[in-house]
Amino acid sequence: MPETPEMELYKINLNRFVKGKLISNVKIYRKKSLNISDSEFVREIIYTHIESVDRKGKYLIFNLSNGLFLLTHMMLDGRLFYLPLEMQGDTDIDFDHADLIKRKVHGIPGKPSVAFILDDKSVLFFCRLTLGFLHLLKSEQLQDRLSEIGIDVLDPMFNEEYLESLLDNSRGMIKPWLMNQKYLAGIGNAYSNESLFYDGILPHREIKSLTHEEKWKLYKSLISVIKESIEKGGDMEEPFMPSDNFTGGFIPYFKVYDREGEPCKVCGNVIESIEIGGRKAFFCSNCQR
Ligand SMILES: [Zn+2]
């Protein structure tokens, strides 16, 4: 599932490529991805401009010129794909058939659920929104939805003290806590495993057993692994647009995540895994205590 680095990279790309553009046509291939009827959805957003794109946790928020907001979440499988006019070549896109788009558009990461055709003839595809969604919301509705999740780890208000005070009021094992969006927004399986490795903490350690130093170091570990991943392209395998060789650049840099049975890059011990809260936790029992 895309986490903070991957969603932040989407935000950066969207602000670079679609910000300020007019939505001149909308195609809905999967009505269930929406929160209102497809006809109402199209009527509300057609001929509005995308003023900017924000992010909180794993959510992206499109600010529209009509004062409404589009809230999208990729969940496990959802992906975005941007196709500028100059990269469409001779492809005559048949916008009425999602299956044909999937077959004909080179590099598209699966079947589109929604497509926005922009005023410069470029296209923004929301692909595979089976568990994910694209909801049109009023300001109050958006605030309600965003209030359900905790602070974004890249929020300037988030710091060592903030993390420590959250942890001091929590119990249970540290890894599922890190992944719980109610406390911190944007951390999932990959970066919870990685930050705990950087901090030298086992994923099943009880929060109550963490020292002051470990809690402060955890903040630094979280921020540094997330920033490094953003700088290197995140861990999304699918490109954002054709000829995108940057996205996914962080994958070879994982220290423990998805490396069960491989040697630890620090000490050479075998990376182990256990199941915690239904998700795989990866760790080095030599480097982590
Ligand atoms: Zn190790």
Dump pLDDT digits (tens) for 173-222. 999 999 999 999 999 999 999 999 999 999 999 999 999 999 999 999 99
Task: Report the chain's C-alpha Rg in angstroms.
Answer: 20
Quote the percentage of the chain above a pLDDT of 70: 100
Pairing relationship of beta strands 151-152 and 184-185 according to DSSP bridges: parallel
Asked if residue 33 lies in contact with residue 132, where contact means CB atoms within 8 angstroms, the answer is: yes
Positive/negative CA dihedral, 137, 142, 148, 153: positive
Asked if residue 103 lies in contact with residue 114, where contact means CB atoms within 8 angstroms, the answer is: no
pLDDT value of residue 139: 98
Average pLDDT over residues 82-102: 92
What is the three-class DSSP state of 202? coil
pLDDT value of residue 89: 83
pLDDT in tens, 2-61: 999 999 999 999 999 999 999 999 999 999 999 999 999 999 999 999 999 999 999 999
**What distance in angstroms lies between residue 264's CA and the mean position of ligand 1's atoms?**
5
Please tell me the distance from the alpha carbon of residue 52 to that of residue 138, in angstroms, as a whole number.
16
* Segment (H or E) for 288: none
What is the three-class DSSP state of 37? coil
pLDDT in tens, 226-262: 999 999 999 999 999 999 999 999 999 999 999 999 9
Asked if residue 31 lies in contact with residue 39, where contact means CB atoms within 8 angstroms, the answer is: no
**What distance in angstroms lies between residue 230's CA and the mean position of ligand 1's atoms?**
24
Neighbours of 287 (CB within 10 A): 19
Tokens of 143: 């605030």
**What distance in angstroms lies between residue 212's CA and the mean position of ligand 1's atoms?**
23
Neighbours of 260 (CB within 10 A): 14
* Residue 269 pLDDT exceeds 80: yes
Please tell me the distance from the alpha carbon of residue 208 to that of residue 111, in angstroms, as a whole number.
45
Distance of CA 46 to the CA centre of its chain: 26
Neighbours of 95 (CB within 10 A): 15
**What distance in angstroms lies between residue 177's CA and the mean position of ligand 1's atoms?**
23
Quote the percentage of the chain above a pLDDT of 90: 98
